Chains A and B, each alone.
Chain A
Amino acid sequence: MPQNTATVVGAAGSKITVAISSGTIVNVAWYPPAPAGVAAPVFNGQVITIPSLPPGDSTVRIDLSWAPGDDDAEVRYPSGTPYAVVDYIFRHGQAGTVYLLLLFGT
């Protein structure tokens, strides 16, 4: 995956935080599963933390459930302020979705 199509680009080895504005995160994981020794992404509420961005291409799987009244979600990076909206997760009326966050470590 070329660098210019990744959703989030950062320095390899750096800590990355991404926030989701809507929906409930129920699971985050490397996709496909990463080899042993690579720190797994974690989530707290609507903030996802990648402890150490791997070099090159990597993908985080984010499983989201939608509650009644939830709208499309913005993917914000970094999670604090100021942040930028780097993508959207569209609801399409479903009960939940799986979204893939494409990363590139330089």
Chain B
Amino acid sequence: MRQNCVIAVLAVAVSMPPLSSGQEYKLTDDQRASVKAFRDELSKLSSFVKQNPQLSRNDATLPGLLNHLDFTTMTQPDVFVRAFSRQNAENLAIQAAAQSAQNYRPDKQLSPASNATGTTSLVSKAGATDLLSLGLDAGALTRTVNGSTATLSGDLDGMFRALTGYSPLCVYPCPAFPSRNLQWVDNHILQPVNVSVVTALAQQSSTAAPGAGQASGSTPTPVSNVAIPTGAGKVTSVLARYQILNKYDPHSAKFKQKWENASDQKTFVSSLLTANNNILAVRDLVLKTATPLDRDAILEAAKRSDKDLADYFDNYYQSQIQKFGKDVSSAVSQAVQDIAASQQVWERVRQEAAGTLFTLEYSYNRTLSQPETHDFKIVYGYAPGSVSGMLSLNGAFSLYGGTLPVAAKYGRLRDGQLSAQYDRPFTISSNPNLLTLSLAGYWQYQPNPSILNIPAGTVAPGTTIPIPNGTQEFVGTAGSLWVTQAKITINVKSGINIPIGVKWSNKSDLLSSNKIGAQVGISYDFSSLSSLFGGNSAR
């Protein structure tokens, strides 16, 4: 009997709604799309009524404030567009519209660094994916060995926001997390960090194992160890990037001056006006079926409680949107796309006004038959104001990892690098940024030739000569390695990029003769699918 009572109490407790009558209702916690979007307006109305319970609808600022909530006046219609797109987040047309504007960003680094055996990037760019990206690349730039790689990159903040239901595609400042500690972690660790893992698809893993005796042949060939393949495809590089943006005071005169003079300011204003035209087109459609808000009734609801105010407004909101035809959804789709595009330009203006964007990059590399290296790179991105496009500059050095062998004839430093790339987008048949032309130059200096590892107990490459103790050999030449690359990238609207490049180099890491080669890749930026992770572009 007692056990049954306990079970019954537990069942009741579990079935209770999260907000019981004993808990205080807060407008800020209400998750209804209408209340969430119009929260500031409703909060202002609530505070007015609390300050003066005798207010009537024509007093003070109430006519203006109520005009925001009344569908027959709707004086700030972009708030409605946000509410409607949030409530209709399952509407794929609206989601696609918001996301298509995010697909082209000239500063995104989606392929591996120049020292990979398969890469299309001679120069690293300062930006990265907002969420997750996958790139497949074939063709070497500085390496002798041509290969193909798969690169999975992720932005820690983007992934965390997507998994917790926040949009990774948000305008700065992104919506804050409720916990101050979590917000600190987000600001200082999650937001600036991007990680990548590069897998060489054609590179075999192997392990040395003792041979059990010669299986054929009349001439005895003593082999103590043999290299046994253990897998095809090997993680060859792990990379972490940290973006550094100048700290700035948005209220300072210096920042405001930079903000007004930013090169993309005119582009932003133009995109904002386009978005606003489409927002007003939505409003025009809404006004055709709108019925007036009962202003006395919503004031009475506000006087009773915030919950009554929210309930009253949500009922009114739902009664209005039920009357909409498909034309409103189409108009909202267009408006959402233009708002997203405008917000993207706004972010570029903010970055320019805030100052230089630097990215620090560290990668750990395990190249086939060569010593492991630790590479350190600084990346600088600059968008010149006078012309469309972006300039990326890299400075890097590479250190040999692990313990240097006894009597090594080389030092810890493997090489130093300087490189630059200019990316110029082109519009074709009114399709903006369909193609990007990139021209890049790269200089690397090595104090010593490259090193080839020959493991202990294996045979020398291409021979049957056993090397019992293993060794390292210098191959190639010391000095300068020059590489130039011309590349065209096709930016498909769905988030797919296809880079195709050709390069010339005076030598490669293991051979001293010049080399002409081609590179091709395909990358997909999963930012365009953020809604599948629970992210909502309106949140």
Residues of A within 8 A of B (CB): 1, 4-7, 26-27, 31, 61, 63, 65, 67-70, 72, 75, 84-102
Contacts and interface: CB of A to CB of B under 8 A. Distances in A.
A88 B68 CA distance: 9
22 contacts: A26-B272, A31-B280, A65-B268, A65-B346, A67-B259, A69-B251, A85-B61, A86-B61, A88-B44, A88-B64, A90-B68, A90-B76, A91-B40, A92-B37, A92-B79, A95-B343, A95-B346, A97-B76, A97-B276, A98-B279, A99-B76, A100-B73
A96 B61 contact: no
B210 to A, nearest CB: 66
A100 B75 contact: yes
Given A85-B61, A96-B272, A102-B75, A90 B171 contact: no
A6 B269 contact: no
A90 B64 contact: no
Given A7-B67, A92-B82, A98-B280, 19 more contacts: A7-B75, A61-B280, A65-B269, A68-B353, A69-B249, A69-B250, A72-B40, A86-B63, A86-B64, A88-B44, A90-B41, A94-B171, A94-B343, A95-B339, A95-B343, A95-B345, A96-B275, A98-B78, A100-B77
Given A1-B73, A69-B250, A69-B251, A63 B273 contact: yes
Contacts of B385: none
Interface of B: 37, 40-41, 44, 57-58, 60-61, 63-68, 70, 73-79, 82, 170-173, 175, 249-251, 255-256, 259, 268-269, 272-273, 275-276, 279-280, 339, 342-343, 345-347, 350, 353-354
Contacts of A100: 73-77
Contacts of B77: 98, 100
Contacts of B78: 92, 94, 97-98
A87 B64 contact: yes
A44 to B, nearest CB: 15
Closest 8 CB pairs of A and B: A87-B64, A69-B250, A95-B346, A98-B276, A68-B250, A96-B272, A7-B64, A90-B40
A93 to B, nearest CB: 6
Contact of B67 (A5, A91, A96): A5
A95 B343 CA distance: 5
A27 B273 contact: yes
Contacts of A84: 60
B342 A92 contact: no
**Main secondary structure on chain B at its contact with chain A?**
helix
A100 B61 CA distance: 15
A4 B343 CA distance: 36
B73 to A, nearest CB: 6
A75 to B, nearest CB: 7
Given A65-B268, A92-B40, A102-B67, A87 B75 contact: yes
A68 B76 contact: no
Nearest to A7: B64
Contacts of A97: 76, 78, 276
Nearest to B174: A93
Given A95-B346, A98-B77, A87 B61 contact: yes
A96 B37 CA distance: 15
Contacts of B170: 93
B171 A6 contact: no
B288 to A, nearest CB: 14
A105 B61 CA distance: 18
A6 B41 CA distance: 17
B311 to A, nearest CB: 21
Given A7-B75, A63-B273, A98-B78, A87 B65 contact: yes
Q: Among A70, A72, A94, which residue has the most Cβ atoms of chain B within 10 A? A: A94
A85 to B, nearest CB: 6
A43 B269 CA distance: 16
B65 A95 contact: no
Nearest to B170: A93
Nearest to A98: B276
B248 to A, nearest CB: 8
B168 to A, nearest CB: 15
A90 B67 contact: no
A100 B279 CA distance: 12
Contact of B339 (A90, A94, A101): A94
A82 B153 CA distance: 57
A92 B83 CA distance: 11
A6 B256 contact: no
Contact of A68 (B79, B172, B268): B172
Contacts of B353: 68
A99 B347 CA distance: 22
A74 to B, nearest CB: 9
Q: Among A27, A31, A61, A100, which residue has the most Cβ atoms of chain B within 10 A? A: A100
Contacts of B37: 92
Contacts of A91: 40
Given A26-B269, A68-B250, A98-B280, A88 B82 contact: no
Contacts of A89: 76
Contacts of A93: 170-171, 173, 175
A72 B75 CA distance: 15
A5 B73 contact: yes
Nearest to B70: A5
Contact of B250 (A67, A90, A99, A102): A67
A55 to B, nearest CB: 19
